[in-house]
Every structure is written in C-alpha cells, then in structure tokens.
Amino acid sequence: MAEVTLDLRDLPKAAAYAALDTQVDSVLAGINDPIAGMATISALVHHAFGHLWTGFYRVVEPGHLLRVGPYQGTLGCLEIRFGSGVCGSAAARRETVIVPDVASFPGHITCDARSRSEIVVPVFDRERELIAVFDIDSDRTNTFDADDQRGLERLLGWFARGH
C-alpha cells in the first residue's frame, strides 16, 4: 500500500482536512465496513494533528448506551450513557459539541487527566441513524473551532455514503 500516515500540522486546518478527505477516500476505496472505516479514520486524524486521544464510541443501545470502538491513544472508558459527559451529550443532541476547556463542562468524563479540550461529532449512516460519535481530545485548551467541526463533519460523511 502506497499510502502513508501524514503529519498535517503545518497546513491551515481547511487544507489539512481536505487532504484527509482525499486520503480517506483513497485508503478505504472499495471497503464498506464501518469498523474498518473507524479504525482508519482514527489513525489518520490522530497522527495528522498529533492529538491526545482520537476515536469512536459506537451506539450499542440506541438512545441509551455508547461503547468504545476503534481509537488511538491511552485507555478510553468503555461505556458512556447518552446524556453523560461530552460524548453522551453529542449523542443525545445528535450534534457536534466543542468544549474549549473541559474544566468548564459539567459532567465531563476524564479518561486521560491530560485532556484540556475536546470535540465530539455525531456519525450517521445512510438512513440518518446515529451509529457512533467521534471524540477527539487535546492536551491544550481551545484546540477546536468551527474549521474542525466543518472538516470533521465532512470527513465523517464517509459513513453515510455508499461504497
């Protein structure tokens, strides 16, 4: 396989996400398997930006329970209820949640004590069913903004496209 894991930290975010879009489509060409998609996207996004933790929590009981899926980083908590923490809030609301400083988010679930800011993006399939959330943690405050939201929501559109 000619593809490599790119470090995109020198690029403006919009350009970095555009490069990731192209790479994800190329690496996953012909693959129609959400777990393979989650593993590949976690690895590429994690190393592109040097994040602290990058990965998926899958919906295992719709409306109730998330369970950890493919990720990169230190040990993640196993299960999160809808409505709990940042991941559970994004799942319950079916929308992206950006937390500039986890100390100011009531109910934040600490998996790695170095985490300072976070973004969680919902993941939908073709039928607009929520299948997972994508969680990224940073060891700095104020890491994530509207560019990340836009870039990640577009990247995660992979799960709603036919392959």
Kindly give, in sequence order, each residue whose CB lies less than 8 Å from that of residue 155, ignoring residues fewer than 6 positions away.
17, 20, 21, 24, 41, 45
Site string for ligand SME, 133-152 (x = CB under 6 A): --x-x---------------
> How many whole angstroms separate alpha carbon 76 and alpha carbon 111?
6
Q: Of 25-33, 103-111, 121-129, 142-150, which part binds ligand SME (CB under 6 A)?
A: 103-111
Q: Of 5-13, 42-50, 80-88, 155-163, which part binds ligand SME (CB under 6 A)?
A: 80-88
> How many whole angstroms separate alpha carbon 24 and alpha carbon 44?
8
Comparing CB distances to ligand SME, the nearer of 15 and 75 is 75
Q: How many residues are present in the chain?
A: 163
Tokens of 113: 């004590």
CB 71 within 8 A of CB 53: yes
Q: Of 7-15, 36-44, 84-92, 147-155, which part binds ligand SME (CB under 6 A)?
A: 84-92
Interface positions with ligand SME (CB under 6 A): 53, 76-77, 80, 85-87, 108-109, 111, 115, 118, 135, 137
